[in-house]
């Protein structure tokens, strides 16, 4: 893979704030009541990305795998906390989410390194790991959100199936299947339309940084497929672990 570099001046970043002002102006003009949120979002993005930038700079300079693993572990932890808020109808969802994100991150990163696609260096593992865990978080949050809704809607049907002597797993199977699907479908759909309706971020970034379109496309494809893997693993693990929390060990539906 060719290495490219680009230098961005601070004034260029500052100039792009004109578009933030435009967004705020539209919100105010149409009374969308988002001005405050836009200001907060802009402030947070500057602070958070700058801090992460310094952290990544430090990790690149120290160049040890342990620091990378520590950073990824922190991402998994905060990812699980964030996803838990969207899975509020699932009892004790933090454990399943934490395991789902950790497994999705470890297995997909492990696989791309083992297959020789990326070197096990901070330069690859940090950005790819961030994308993998971020997408895994979204997918597992969507899947568990759906699981919570579906378990509530299908309560009568699930109990009627348990009444036939089905295991909790058998009774919840249609519900788990739908939850898994909804966790995966967004990325599957966007992978279908990629390049036609939108240019994915990595490709845009590489083109802006001066890489050849061929390299940009190839890297983007690798990342899309890596993300498909991580999204399916995280949605699968999260739903398979979380549905159990709706049942007692005697295969009874818990009162929620």
Partner 1 sequence: MLFELQNVGLDRGGRTVLDAFSAGIPEGATAIVGPSGAGKSTLLRLLNRLADPDRGEISYRGRPLSSYEPLALRREVSLVPQLPALLDGTVESNLRYAAELAGEDLDVEETLARAGLDPSFAERDVAKLSVGEQQRAMLARALAQHPAVLLLDEPTSALDHAARDAVEATLARLRSESNLSLVLVSHDPEQARRLADRVVEMPA
Q: Compare residues 45 and 167 and give the one whose CB is closer to partner 1.
A: 167
Q: From residue 86, how far is each of 16, 70, 161, 186, 205 by CA, in Å?
A: 32, 25, 28, 16, 30
CA distances to 38, 51, 75, 92, 217 from 173, rounded to whole Å, are: 42, 43, 30, 20, 38
Q: Which stretch binds partner 1 (CB under 8 A): 43-51, 57-65, 77-85, 156-164?
A: 156-164
With binding defined as CB under 8 A, does residue 252 bind partner 1? yes
By the rule CB under 8 A, 153 interacts with partner 1 = no
Q: Who's near 148: CB < 8 A, 6+ residues apart?
A: 87, 88, 89, 90
Q: Which of 86/146 has CB closer to partner 1?
A: 146
| Calpha distance 162→180 (Å, rounded) | 21
| Chosen residue from 108, 145, 161, 230 binding partner 1 by CB under 8 A | 161
Residues 63 and 117: their CA atoms lie apart, in Å, by 19
Binding part of the chain for partner 1, among 138-146, 152-160, 184-192, 207-215 by CB under 8 A, reads: 152-160
**Minimal distance in Å, beta carbon 168 to partner 1?**
10
User: Is the Cβ–Cβ distance between 35 and 28 less than 8 Å?
Assistant: yes
Nearest approach in angstroms of CB 105 to partner 1 is 35
**CB 246 within 8 Å of CB 253:** yes
Beta carbon of residue 203, minimum distance to partner 1 (angstroms, whole number):
41
Q: Where are the alpha helices (DSSP H) in 63-116?
A: 65-86, 94-114
Longest Cα–Cα distance in the chain? 69
For position 10 contacting partner 1 by CB under 8 A, the verdict is: no
Q: What's the DSSP call for residue 244?
A: G
The yes or no reply on residue 251 touching partner 1 (CB under 8 A) is yes
Give the shortest CB-159-to-partner 1 separation in angstroms. Answer: 6
Instruction: Out of 157, 169, 177, 192, name the contact with partner 1 by CB under 8 A.
Output: 157
Applying CB under 8 A, which of residues 159, 192, 209, 210 lies at the interface with partner 1? 159
Give yes or no for residue 91 binding partner 1 (CB under 8 A). no
Minimum CB–partner distance for residue 170 and partner 1 (Å): 8
Q: Which of 166, 207, 221, 222 binds partner 1 (CB under 8 A)?
A: 166
Could you say which DSSP state residue 255 is in? P
Pattern 168-187, binding to partner 1, x per CB under 8 A?
Answer: --x---x-------------
CA quadruple 86, 92, 97, 100: dihedral sign? negative
Is residue 165 a contact point for partner 1 (CB under 8 A)? Answer: yes
CA-to-CA distance for 1 and 219, rounded, in angstroms? 9
Q: Given candidates 109, 162, 227, 237, which one binds partner 1 under the rule CB under 8 A?
A: 162
Footprint of partner 1 (CB under 8 A): 156-157, 159-167, 170, 174, 250-253, 255
């Amino acid at each position: 893979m060719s290495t490219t570099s680009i230098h961005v001046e601070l004034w260029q970043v500052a100039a792009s704030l004109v578009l933030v002002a435009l967004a705020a102006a539209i919100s105010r003009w149409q009374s969308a009541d988002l001005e405050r949120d836009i200001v907060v979002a802009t402030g947070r993005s500057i602070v958070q990305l700058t801090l992460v930038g310094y952290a990544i700079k430090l990790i690149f300079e120290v160049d040890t795998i342990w620091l990378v693993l520590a950073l990824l572990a922190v991402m998994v932890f905060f990812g699980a906390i964030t996803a838990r808020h969207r899975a509020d109808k699932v009892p004790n969802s933090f454990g399943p989410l934490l395991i789902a994100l950790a497994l999705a991150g470890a297995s997909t990163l492990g696989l791309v390194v083992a297959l020789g696609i990326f070197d096990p260096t901070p330069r690859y593992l940090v950005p790819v790991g961030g994308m993998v865990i971020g997408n895994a978080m979204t997918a597992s949050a969507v899947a568990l959100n759906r699981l919570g809704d579906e378990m509530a809607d299908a309560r009568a049907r699930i109990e009627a199936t348990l009444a036939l002597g089905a295991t909790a797993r058998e009774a919840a199977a249609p519900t788990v299947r739908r939850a898994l699907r909804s966790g995966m479908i967004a990325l599957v759909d966007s992978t279908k339309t990629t390049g036609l309706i939108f240019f994915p971020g990595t490709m845009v970034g590489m083109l802006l940084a001066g890489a050849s379109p061929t390299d940009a496309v190839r890297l983007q494809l690798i990342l899309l497929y890596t993300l498909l893997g991580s999204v399916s693993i995280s949605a699968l693990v999260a739903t398979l672990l979380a549905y159990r929390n709706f049942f007692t060990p005697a295969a009874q539906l818990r009162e929620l």
